[in-house]
A and B are shown apart, each in its own frame.
Chain A
Amino acid sequence: MLSYLLKRLAIGLVTLFVASLVVFAVLEVVPGDPARLMLGMGASEDAIAALRDQMGLNQPLALRYLSWAGHMLIGDFGRSYTYGVPVRELIAERIAVSLPLAVMALLLSMAVAIPVGLFSAARRGRASDMAVMGVTQLGVAIPNFWFALLLVYVFAVTLRLVPAGGFPGWSAGPGPAFQALILPALALALPQAAILARVTRSALIETLSEDYIRTARAKGLTRSAVLYRHALRNAMIPVLTILGLQFAFLLAGTIIIENVFYLPGLGRLVFQAITQRDLIVVEGLVMLLVATIILVNLVVDLLYAAVDPRLRSPR
């Protein structure tokens, strides 16, 4: 198990390293001079040259990569070309919106999907199972930003229960902030919940056909005890895998959803930075997202061992 995890860790680090090369290289070929961008249209050539020098843009490529990657390792993501503040501050400010949003969406998705999966698996093949699976099939097909628009129409425009967009900040207390995040979280969660419910159901059905389930029933356990105590726990491995993958989808989904709701989060920041050619922000954010995804996958690998003791013993 330990060697397996060490191998996963090594692969994760190599992936991160190669990813940093790719991100650096891709943004290196992008047309446009950051110094010219920062100083604006009317800047003199001398001033631009001086700033290029100051920003280290005249150094050799390899040196610039090492300096960029090295600074990032100690948490220094550089200074935004357009905002003029350290990228780290921008990220810290925006993550206070995106992280709660992603976590809320993930929790909502699990809170809906796992009971639905249990319900369907327990009633496999019956009309209620078919109906629920039909609904999840529909859920998978709904684009989250369209669902977001429908939610805005119903809950913000028609019922006026929550704001249609914007974010009041956490300083006003958790109430208004929570209200501003609930629709975006729902919009992100529901399509994911549909997928997760389908995976939970099929994982449970697979587990229910195992011999140890029959043994548990034979020794006199009730149907629900078998379902919750034995089947659910053993069905968690595929569910965890999908959850890990979904976290990446959620992070990417925030890019669109934050634009729908005008939320000042990481997704909106990265989208704005890309369109404004604020490359140092893009680089920092993409690396942060990639690192997060690699880390989440590692955690999922660790959780496998926690859920399934068979994986802990040496193979």
Chain B
Amino acid sequence: MTIGQALRNPSFAAGLAITLAVAATALLSFAWTPYDASAMDIAAKLQAPSAVHWLGTDHFGRDILSMIMVGSRNSIAVALVAVGIGAGLGIPLGLAAAARGGWLDETLMRLNDLVFAFPALLSAIMITAIFGPGVFNAIVAIGIFNIPVFARVARGAALSLLRREFILAARAAGKSRSRIAVEHVLPNIANLLIVQATIQFSLGILAEAGLSYLGLGSQPPMPSWGRMLFEAQTMIGFAPHMALFPGLAIVVTVLGLNLLGDGLRDVLDPRLQEQR
């Protein structure tokens, strides 16, 4: 399938456009923002959106558009590294469980059950609160809960593949189990894993926003969408724009990733498209 054909899927096209726009905004923030995101200007505090400050200013007179732009880096970085942790550890574990079976499989799946019994947000709050708030601990807290997700998807997909003839052929040709897992199974389940990564990415953005909102994510003066919402809360009566725009930034980013994930699933698996 060519990229042109893929772009005819509306979900994929819209998701890709939004995601690229968000990524471009984050990259742009390194080179240019309308104002310095941490520069306070008390005289200009709590201004509604205007030609001077497109999205208005906060209670310290900081430019909200600039803060949202810089904050996007933080959200993307946390979610991206958390997905990296989940995929990097979860996929090998899932493949090993599927290939070896037996006690390894059983142990891993029961560990999976264990992690799923803890509400992810509660555990993330515990981890960040106990080991101290901050970006690094937020990444670890979110990343840990991505591991069983990727392990489960990789295992499930690999199990159905391992019974296929071409795998048996590879076994007969004398390839080791781990070589088969890497050379034959992984490329064939990559589609599913990419779709899952997109979903976990968007969940990571939401989780980071939640942790930052509770004061457990990135710390001031680094702007973050979640903390902007927390600061907006007490001022909602007279400065609702402070709450509106950071939230919209989260919604747009997550929506873009979800559309991209949905679109990718359809594009990469034409059989699913017909079922819908």
Contacts and interface: CB of A to CB of B under 8 A. Distances in A.
A19 B251 contact: no
Secondary structure call for the A interface = helix
A311 interface: no
Interface stretch (B29-37, B65-73, B116-124): B116-124
B258 A274 contact: no
Given A252-B121, A271-B125, A11 B258 contact: no
Contact of B255 (A124, A141, A293): A141
Interface string B99-143: 000000000001001100111111001100110000000000000
B210 A274 contact: no
B118 A290 contact: yes
Interface string A117-144: 0000000100000000000011011110
Given A26-B130, A256-B210, A137 B229 contact: no
A277 to B, nearest CB: 9
Nearest to B246: A146
Interface stretch (B46-54, B164-172, B232-240): B232-240
A270 B123 CA distance: 11
Interface in A142-201: 142-143, 145-146, 149-150, 152-153, 157
B96 interface: no
A249 B121 CA distance: 8
A137 B258 contact: yes
Interface in B217-276: 229, 232-233, 236-237, 240, 243-244, 246-247, 250-252, 254-255, 258-259, 262, 275-276
- Contact residue range for chain A? 35 or more
Contacts of A22: 114
User: Which label, helix, strand, loop or mixed, suits the secondary structure of the B interface?
Assistant: helix
Interface in A225-279: 248-249, 251-253, 255-256, 259-260, 270-271, 274-275
Contacts of B57: none
Q: Which of A11, A149, A206 has the most CB of B within 10 A?
A: A149
Contact of A252 (B119, B236, B237, B251): B119
Given A137-B259, A256-B214, A293-B119, A150 B247 contact: yes
A6 interface: no
Nearest to A276: B129
A9 B90 CA distance: 26
Contacts of A30: 130
A18 interface: yes
Contacts of B237: 157
11 contacts: A124-B276, A141-B255, A146-B229, A149-B229, A157-B237, A249-B119, A249-B121, A251-B122, A252-B121, A286-B118, A294-B117
Given A19-B114, A145-B210, A256-B210, 12 more contacts: A11-B110, A22-B114, A141-B255, A142-B251, A149-B243, A157-B237, A249-B121, A252-B121, A252-B122, A286-B122, A293-B119, A294-B117
Interface of B: 110, 113-114, 117-122, 125-126, 129-130, 202, 206, 209-210, 213-214, 229, 232-233, 236-237, 240, 243-244, 246-247, 250-252, 254-255, 258-259, 262, 275-276
5 A-B pairs with the lowest CB-CB distances in the bound complex, closest first:
A252-B119, A146-B247, A141-B254, A141-B255, A252-B121
Interface of A: 11, 14-16, 18-19, 22, 26-27, 30, 124, 137-138, 140-143, 145-146, 149-150, 152-153, 157, 202, 205-206, 209, 248-249, 251-253, 255-256, 259-260, 270-271, 274-275, 282, 286, 289-290, 293-294
